[in-house]
């Protein structure tokens, strides 16, 4: 057994170090392990086919298309102007706008990198021009972009639900994301505001109200997608997958007929862009099913649980260790992949220590979200640096107060599960 | 550029066109799946008469989509991967790593075709519950996608064999675009 | 050296795997563990079976494939899942095919059950006994189902299966296939008005919290089967084969009773929680769905035989 585990993880790490695609590294490592243990390859390839055959997983393409259409259709620009109307007239206004717009954008997209590259591409230069420090501008943009992975729709939550594989409900998982998303936004705003006051950052210009009405109307049209997801799921009018399809169709209608920024040719470009993300995700979902099969076969989750139990029998300590592990791994791998990889191992552990499955899901998404902001592999951090054309060494100092604000939220949510569970529980859902 | 490389360039040209077609097929599948699901909601919500087949059909499309879509990135060789060690290797070692990668993938896809075929054959007589379509359709993508990916990996393997070390050096010295940086940082979603 | 190897092989212990998709507390899982224990006992430790619970080796459809191809030795499968592979067992999943539990076991343990079980050979599988998997009944949120008329217009969640969909349609309801994980919310929010399952699932899924009316129409009682791969079966000698059959028999007898007790325990718990349970006239329901039998002409003669059993 020990040898099997060694082969599984050893070959995986070696392959990944040699630039093997992470997805197929999972597959090849599984085949190597199966050869050693005498598991028929048949079972593994069967898993690679059935792994994608999940109705739950189907909302991922829908939400990705929806976000791509909205982004290419200019939603980020409209949301930014809208947020500016809401909160631009205080000290550090543009920084606060940055936090708020990511909350709205997060309700449309689940991608932090899309947030940085679309909103950041004009807000970072705009902030620097207004007189904000560059490291501060990048840090606000990148940290706030993580709001989108917690606020539904969130591909990462779907990965968790699919990888946990025990009949969790996407809808309930989504509902757990709203309050923590708000809390994170608030925490980042407080952090931005304190620094803005201390450094005497500027206040934005006033706009006339006629302009404002156009801005508000256009932004609200886009924000209806948030309502489709939130109300549709809460009211049970449709499932998460259906919400994704409806939101995608709605996004196309709004951008084509109201914003007039979309047409069939541009739609095709949107879809082609989504393929890039989806190809990697589909491959990882397929191969990780085979990998999880090997993990279960080798009883890895049980070994991890008993290993943790030998360190401490306190759920608090175990939770701390799991979070520490996720933060460390988050420095080296992207969050989507880690969620798919770690959930089959950590989920059974968390359950055996009596944590709530949805609460734990939120903790995982939030903790691994931090990995988007930490070097050496921090996709959002790098995207932010690339936009501002700044080396990472000069930027990272600006991140420190925001890491702190992020960790405060994480600790609050770990300690008070009801922040996550309040909405589904008060609506009477089984959690 | 020697003769072999010229032939390869030409071959890759044909493949590029084929890949572009594959991209369009994938996009069309996405549109179809979205529309089926959308209409399903309308049918249930407005007409109170949901289709019993919509879930099955969309899932079938999704599996086909998945295996066609992942094949594209095998050809372009930019599935999410970790680059931080690879980028520090010498040109010779990088070439070796590339050969190793494409070679191992060829083996993996050969196995995929073999077992995909077994699964397809076994499930061919089994009907799906609602549509009565053969369950073989759910496993055939392993054969078709596997075959495409096998060919793509072979092409990549041969391309790597023919790629001179000097080109590796040039790649390393060239400044990178934001998209390339994102790929090299392992970004997915 | 070759000689000593073949001698070892003759005395070798056979290590088999058994796939079960239920958790450890379910009587069917306990029955599988008992079967493994009995096989070990009766073969003097020459056949050892490792039982994997909780669908660790795959869901039912996956493990059927594995057994057929010889990549897995045993799988415990419900006949409703097996029917898409082996059409013959589909007859046991038809609604109201059994008039009572006694009738059900007279059919399954008699010539009809034997015949169906033997037919699995052509799929490279050996059928080892019929096991109890509960009787499925309707439960609803807004009003109780007391007669066929009550089903009319109700949106009823069913499993993704042709028979279940047709059954609900014949009763006048709108069949709504839906993932099991979404049913609780579906009932609560009114996307569906009713669902159907046995007492155990009704209780453990928590559906009893949101759907308080449970009607004892017993529309389906598909049994489970223990399947063994023909490939693995061929590795056994005659006395081992005999031992495996006996072990399955003994464990199944115990399991049927244990499952009934388990159903009654769950029933007591939902009653305690304030759910109302209604007796209904099964005959009326049976008549309403009787056209379904004509949709499966392949079962015509076997249905006659089942009806002839008392
Ligand atoms: Na989001
Ligand atoms: Na932002």
* Cβ-defined contact of C65 to B130 (cutoff 8 Å): no
| DSSP string over A153-195 | S-HHHHHHHHHH-S---HHHHHHTTHHHHHHHHHHHHHHHHHH
Helix B54-76 vs helix B136-162: crossing angle, to nearest 10? 10
* Cβ-defined contact of C185 to A236 (cutoff 8 Å): yes
Which of A58, A274, A377 lies nearest to residue B186, judging by beta carbons? A377
Ligand minimally distant from the alpha carbon of residue A96:
2
| pLDDT tens digits along A305-339 | 888 889 888 999 999 999 999 999 988 888 888 89
Q: CA torsion sign, A27 to A28 to A29 to A32?
A: positive
Share of chain C above pLDDT 90, in %: 77
In angstroms, rounded to a whole number, what is the distance separating the alpha carbons of residues B146 and B140?
9
Say whether the peptide bond before residue A376 is cis (omega within 30 degrees of 0). yes
Share of chain A above pLDDT 70, in %: 99
Q: Measuring CA to CA, which residue among C86, C54, C80, C55 is closest to residue C68?
A: C86
| DSSP string over C154-216 | -EEEE-S-HHHHHHHHHTT-EEEE--GGGHHHHHHHTS-SEEEE-HHHHHHTSGGGT--EEEE
Q: Which domain holds residue A327?
A: 2-426
Q: How far is CA B119 from the centre of its chain?
A: 20
In angstroms, rounded to a whole number, what is the distance separating the alpha carbons of residues A225 and A72?
15
In angstroms, rounded to a whole number, what is the distance separating the alpha carbons of residues B38 and B42?
7
A231-245, C106-120, C263-277: which range is least confident on average? A231-245
Say whether the peptide bond before residue A153 is cis (omega within 30 degrees of 0). yes
**Residue B34: its pLDDT value, please?**
94
* Rounded alpha-carbon distances, angstroms, from residue C29 to A228, C19, C23: 42, 10, 7
Q: Measuring CA to CA, which residue among A169, A177, A171 is closest to residue A237?
A: A171
B181 — pLDDT class (breaks 50, 70, 90): low
Between B184 and C237, where is the model more confident?
A: C237
Chain C touched by A241 (CB under 8 Å) = no
Q: What is the three-class DSSP state of A427?
A: coil
Q: Alpha-carbon dihedral of residues B16, B22, B26, B32, nearest 10 degrees?
A: 130
pLDDT of B189 higher than 50: no
Residues of B in contact with C175 (CB under 8 A): 52
The residues, ordered by sequence, that sit 6+ positions from A33 with a Cβ below 8 Å of its Cβ are: A4, A7, A8, A11, A39, A294, A298
**Residue C11: its pLDDT value, please?**
62
Query: What is the average pLDDT across A180-202?
Result: 93
Helix A392-415 vs helix A315-330: crossing angle, to nearest 10? 160
Query: How far is the alpha carbon of B137 from chain C, nearest alpha carbon, in Å?
Result: 14
Query: How far is the alpha carbon of B50 from chain C, nearest alpha carbon, in Å?
Result: 7
**Residue C10: its pLDDT value, please?**
52
Query: What is the average pLDDT across A363-385?
Result: 89
* Rounded alpha-carbon distances, angstroms, from residue A108 to A63, A68, A251, A374: 8, 9, 10, 24
In angstroms, rounded to a whole number, what is the distance separating the alpha carbons of residues C146 and A176?
38
How many A from CA of A162 to the centre of ligand 2?
Answer: 28
Q: Measuring CA to CA, which residue among C226, C233, C229, C227 is closest to residue C252?
A: C226
Kindly state whether residue A99 falls inside one of the protein's structural domains.
yes
- Give the helix/strand (H/E) hosting C52: strand C47-52
In angstroms, rounded to a whole number, what is the distance separating the alpha carbons of residues A119 and C84?
51
C1 — pLDDT class (breaks 50, 70, 90): very low
Q: What angle do CA C111, C112, C114 make, to 5 degrees?
A: 65
Kindly state whether residue A431 falls inside one of the protein's structural domains.
no
How many A from CA of A389 to the centre of ligand 2?
Answer: 18
Query: How far is the alpha carbon of C54 from chain B, nearest alpha carbon, in Å?
Result: 23
How many A from CA of A406 to the centre of ligand 1?
Answer: 17
Chain C touched by B114 (CB under 8 Å) = no
Chain B touched by C161 (CB under 8 Å) = yes
Chain A touched by C50 (CB under 8 Å) = no
Query: What is the average pLDDT across A6-21?
Result: 93
In angstroms, rounded to a whole number, what is the distance separating the alpha carbons of residues A348 and A296?
10
Q: What angle do CA A136, A371, A105 make, to 5 degrees?
A: 65
In angstroms, rounded to a whole number, what is the distance separating the alpha carbons of residues C82 and C97?
17
* Cβ-defined contact of B55 to C160 (cutoff 8 Å): yes
Kindly state whether residue A409 falls inside one of the protein's structural domains.
yes
* Cβ-defined contact of C71 to A40 (cutoff 8 Å): yes
Tell me which residues of chain B, numbers 46 to 75, contact chain A at a CB-CB cutoff of 8 Å: 55, 58-59, 62-63, 65-67, 69-70, 72-74
* Cβ-defined contact of A24 to B105 (cutoff 8 Å): yes
| pLDDT tens digits along C117-159 | 999 999 999 999 999 999 999 999 999 999 999 999 899 998 8
How many A from CA of A185 to the centre of ligand 2?
Answer: 10
* Cβ-defined contact of A430 to C186 (cutoff 8 Å): no
Chain B touched by C85 (CB under 8 Å) = yes
Residue of C nearest to B120 (CA): C65
> How many domains is chain A partitioned into structurally?
1
Q: CA torsion sign, A358 to A360 to A361 to A365?
A: positive
**Residue B73: its pLDDT value, please?**
93
Q: Measuring CA to CA, which residue among B73, B58, B50 is closest to residue B152?
A: B73
Residues of B in contact with A69 (CB under 8 A): none
In angstroms, rounded to a whole number, what is the distance separating the alpha carbons of residues C219 and C138?
8
Between A207 and B160, where is the model more confident?
A: B160
Task: Please answer whether residues B29 and A278 qualify as being in contact, where contact means their C-beta atoms are separated by less than 8 angstroms.
Answer: no
Residues of B in contact with C65 (CB under 8 A): 119, 122-123
pLDDT of A429 higher than 80: no
* Cβ-defined contact of B56 to C174 (cutoff 8 Å): no
In angstroms, rounded to a whole number, what is the distance separating the alpha carbons of residues C288 and C284?
6
Chains with ≥3 Cβ pairs under 8 A against B? Answer: A, C
Q: What is the three-class DSSP state of A19?
A: coil
DSSP state letter for C124 = T
C257 — pLDDT class (breaks 50, 70, 90): very high
Which of A40, A169, A297 lies nearest to residue C185, judging by beta carbons? A169
How many A from CA of A169 to the centre of ligand 2?
Answer: 29
* ipTM of the predicted assembly exceeds 0.95: no
- Contacts of C108-116 with C-beta under 8 Å, sequence gap 24+, read C108/C223, C110/C309, C111/C305, C112/C302, C112/C305, C112/C306, C112/C309, C115/C302, C116/C88, C116/C89, C116/C91, C116/C92, C116/C302
Residues of B in contact with A238 (CB under 8 A): 41, 45
Q: In A38-107, where does DSSP find H-type helix?
A: 41-50, 59-72, 75-87, 93-106
B98 — pLDDT class (breaks 50, 70, 90): very high
In angstroms, rounded to a whole number, what is the distance separating the alpha carbons of residues C121 and A265?
56
**Residue A262: its pLDDT value, please?**
92
Residue of B nearest to A31 (CA): B108
**Residue B186: its pLDDT value, please?**
54
Name residue C229's beta-bridge partners: C125
Share of chain C above pLDDT 70, in %: 96
Which of B41, B111, B138 lies nearest to residue A53, judging by beta carbons? B138
Between A379 and C240, where is the model more confident?
A: C240
* Rounded alpha-carbon distances, angstroms, from residue B165 to A18, B68, B94, B160, B179: 18, 32, 9, 10, 24
Chain A touched by B6 (CB under 8 Å) = no
Query: What is the average pLDDT across A192-216?
Result: 83
pLDDT of A16 higher than 70: yes
Share of chain A above pLDDT 90, in %: 46
**Residue B185: its pLDDT value, please?**
59
- Give the helix/strand (H/E) hosting C125: strand C125-131
pLDDT of C3 higher than 50: no
Task: Please answer whether residues A287 and A26 qualify as being in contact, where contact means their C-beta atoms are separated by less than 8 angstroms.
Answer: yes
**Residue C7: its pLDDT value, please?**
44
pLDDT of C65 higher than 90: yes
**Residue B183: its pLDDT value, please?**
64
Q: CA torsion sign, C149 to C154 to C158 to C162?
A: positive
How many A from CA of A191 to the centre of ligand 2?
Answer: 14
pLDDT of B134 higher than 70: yes
Return mean pLDDT, chain A.
89
Residue of C nearest to B135 (CA): C84
A121 — pLDDT class (breaks 50, 70, 90): confident
* Cβ-defined contact of C69 to B56 (cutoff 8 Å): no
Q: Alpha-carbon dihedral of residues C99, C104, C106, C112, nearest 10 degrees?
A: 110
Tell me which residues of chain A, numbers 24 to 63, contact chain C at a CB-CB cutoff of 8 Å: 40, 42-43, 46-47, 50, 55-56
| pLDDT tens digits along A135-169 | 999 999 999 999 999 999 998 999 999 888 777 88
pLDDT of C202 higher than 90: yes
B172 — pLDDT class (breaks 50, 70, 90): confident
Going by their DSSP bridges, the two strands C74-78 and C14-19 should be labelled as parallel
Residues of A in contact with C186 (CB under 8 A): 236
- Give the helix/strand (H/E) hosting C302: helix C300-308
How many A from CA of A154 to the centre of ligand 2?
Answer: 16
Q: Measuring CA to CA, which residue among C148, C204, C138, C191 is closest to residue C171?
A: C148
Which of A61, A241, A246 lies nearest to residue B30, judging by beta carbons? A61
Kindly state whether residue A138 falls inside one of the protein's structural domains.
yes
In angstroms, rounded to a whole number, what is the distance separating the alpha carbons of residues C165 and C176?
8
In angstroms, rounded to a whole number, what is the distance separating the alpha carbons of residues A290 and A42?
10
**Residue C306: its pLDDT value, please?**
95
Task: Please answer whether residues C113 and C107 qualify as being in contact, where contact means their C-beta atoms are separated by less than 8 angstroms.
Answer: yes
How many A from CA of A120 to the centre of ligand 2?
Answer: 7
How many A from CA of B19 to the centre of ligand 1?
Answer: 31
Task: Count other C-beta atoms under 10 Å from residue C46's C-beta.
Answer: 17
Return mean pLDDT, chain C.
91
pLDDT of A66 higher than 50: yes
How many A from CA of A107 to the centre of ligand 1?
Answer: 5
Q: Measuring CA to CA, which residue among B117, B113, B119, B125 is closest to residue B149?
A: B113
Kindly state whether residue A98 falls inside one of the protein's structural domains.
yes
* Cβ-defined contact of C189 to A167 (cutoff 8 Å): no
Task: Count other C-beta atoms under 10 Å from residue A409's C-beta.
Answer: 20
In angstroms, rounded to a whole number, what is the distance separating the alpha carbons of residues A79 and A74?
9
Among A202-206, A236-240, C171-175, the range with the most confident prediction by mean pLDDT is C171-175
- Give the helix/strand (H/E) hosting B121: helix B91-123
Return mean pLDDT, chain B.
88
| pLDDT tens digits along C157-168 | 988 778 888 899
Query: What is the average pLDDT across A410-418?
Result: 96
**Residue C5: its pLDDT value, please?**
43
Q: CA torsion sign, B134 to B135 to B141 to B147?
A: negative
């Amino acid at each position: 057994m020990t040898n099997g585990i060694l082969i599984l993880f050893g070959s995986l790490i070696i392959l990944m170090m040699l630039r093997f695609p992470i997805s197929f590294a999972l597959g090849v490592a599984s085949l190597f392990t199966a050869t050693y243990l005498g598991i028929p390859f048949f079972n593994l390839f069967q898993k690679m086919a059935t792994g994608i055959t999940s109705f739950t997983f189907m909302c991922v393409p829908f939400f990705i298309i929806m976000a791509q259409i909205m982004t290419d259709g200019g939603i980020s620009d409209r949301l930014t102007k809208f947020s500016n109307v809401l909160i631009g007239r205080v000290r550090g206004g543009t920084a606060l706008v940055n936090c708020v717009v990511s909350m709205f954008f997060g309700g449309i997209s689940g991608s932090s990198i899309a947030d940085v590259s679309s909103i950041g591409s004009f807000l970072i230069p705009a902030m620097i021009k207004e007189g904000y420090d560059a490291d501060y501008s990048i840090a606000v943009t990148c940290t706030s972009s993580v709001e989108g992975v917690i606020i539904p729709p969130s591909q990462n939550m779907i990965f968790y639900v699919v990888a946990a594989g025990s009949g969790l409900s996407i809808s309930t998982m989504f509902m757990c994301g709203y309050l923590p998303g708000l809390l994170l936004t608030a925490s980042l705003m407080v952090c931005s505001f304190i620094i803005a006051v201390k450094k005497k950052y500027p206040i934005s210009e006033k706009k006339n109200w006629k302009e404002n009405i156009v801005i508000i109307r256009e932004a609200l049209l886009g924000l209806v997608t948030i309502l489709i997801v939130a109300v549709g799921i809460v009211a049970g009018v449709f499932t998460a997958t259906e919400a994704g399809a409806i939101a995608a169709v709605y996004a196309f209608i709004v951008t084509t007929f109201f914003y007039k920024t979309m047409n069939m040719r541009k739609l095709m470009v949107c879809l082609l862009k989504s393929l890039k993300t989806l190809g990697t995700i589909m491959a990882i979902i397929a191969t990780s099913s085979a990998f999880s099969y090997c993990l279960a076969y080798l009883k890895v989750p049980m070994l991890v649980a008993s290993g943790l139990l030998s360190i401490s029998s306190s759920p608090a300590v175990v939770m701390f260790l799991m979070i520490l592990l996720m933060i460390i791994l988050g420095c080296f791998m992207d969050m989507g992949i880690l969620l798919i990889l770690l959930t089959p191992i950590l989920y059974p552990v968390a359950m055996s220590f009596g944590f709530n499955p949805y609460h734990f899901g939120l903790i995982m998404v939030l903790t691994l979200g931090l990995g988007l902001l930490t070097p050496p592999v921090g996709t959002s951090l790098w995207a932010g640096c690339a936009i501002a054309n700044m080396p990472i060494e000069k930027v990272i100092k600006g991140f420190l107060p925001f890491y702190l604000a992020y960790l405060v939220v994480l600790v609050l949510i770990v300690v008070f599960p009801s922040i996550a569970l309040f909405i589904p529980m008060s609506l009477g859902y089984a959690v | 550029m020697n003769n072999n490389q010229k032939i390869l360039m030409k071959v890759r040209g044909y493949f590029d066109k084929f890949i572009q077609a594959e991209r369009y097929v994938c996009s069309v599948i996405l549109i179809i799946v979205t529309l089926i699901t959308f209409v399903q909601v309308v049918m249930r919500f407005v007409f109170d008469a949901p289709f019993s087949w919509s879930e099955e059909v969309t899932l079938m499309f999704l599996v086909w989509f998945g295996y066609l879509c992942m094949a594209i990135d095998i050809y372009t060789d930019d599935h999410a991967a970790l680059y931080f060690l690879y980028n520090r290797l010498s040109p010779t070692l990088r070439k070796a790593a590339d050969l190793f990668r494409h070679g191992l993938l060829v083996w993996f896809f050969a196995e995929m075709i073999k077992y995909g075929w077994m699964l397809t054959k076994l499930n061919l007589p089994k009907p799906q519950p609602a549509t009565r379509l053969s369950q073989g359709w759910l496993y055939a993508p392993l054969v078709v996608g596997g075959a495409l990916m096998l060919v793509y990996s072979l092409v990549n393997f041969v391309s790597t064999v023919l790629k001179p070390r000097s080109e590796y050096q040039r790649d390393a010295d060239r400044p990178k675009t934001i998209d390339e940086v994102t790929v090299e940082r392992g970004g997915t979603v | 050296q070759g000689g000593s190897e073949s001698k070892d092989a003759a005395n070798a212990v056979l290590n088999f795997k058994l796939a079960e998709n239920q958790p450890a507390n379910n009587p069917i899982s306990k029955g599988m563990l008992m079967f493994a224990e009995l096989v070990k006992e009766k073969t003097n430790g020459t056949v050892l079976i490792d039982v994997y619970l909780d669908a660790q080796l795959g869901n039912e459809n996956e493990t059927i494939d594995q057994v057929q191809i010889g990549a897995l030795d045993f799988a415990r499968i419900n006949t409703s899942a097996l029917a898409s592979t082996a059409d013959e067992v589909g007859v046991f999943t038809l609604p109201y095919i059994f008039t009572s539990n006694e009738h059900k076991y007279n059919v399954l343990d008699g010539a009809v059950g034997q015949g169906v079980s033997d037919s699995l050979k052509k799929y490279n599988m050996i059928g080892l006994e019929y096991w109890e998997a509960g009787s499925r009944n309707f439960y609803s949120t807004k009003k109780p189902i007391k007669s066929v008329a009550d089903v009319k217009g109700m949106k009823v969640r069913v499993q993704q299966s042709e028979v279940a969909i047709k059954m609900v349609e014949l009763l006048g309801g709108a069949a709504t296939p839906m993932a099991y994980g979404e049913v609780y919310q579906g009932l609560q929010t009114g996307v569906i008005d009713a669902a159907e399952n046995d007492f155990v699932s009704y209780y453990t899924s928590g559906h009893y919290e949101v759907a308080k009316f449970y009607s004892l129409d017993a529309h389906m009682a598909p049994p489970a089967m223990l399947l063994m791969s023909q490939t693995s079966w061929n590795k056994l000698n005659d006395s081992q084969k005999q031992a495996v059959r006996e072990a399955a028999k003994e464990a199944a007898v115990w399991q049927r009773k244990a499952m009934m007790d388990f159903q009654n325990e769950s029933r007591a718990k939902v009653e305690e929680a304030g759910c109302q349970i209604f007796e209904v006239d099964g005959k009326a329901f049976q008549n309403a769905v009787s056209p379904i039998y004509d949709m499966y002409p392949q079962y015509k003669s076997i249905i006659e035989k089942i009806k002839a059993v008392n």
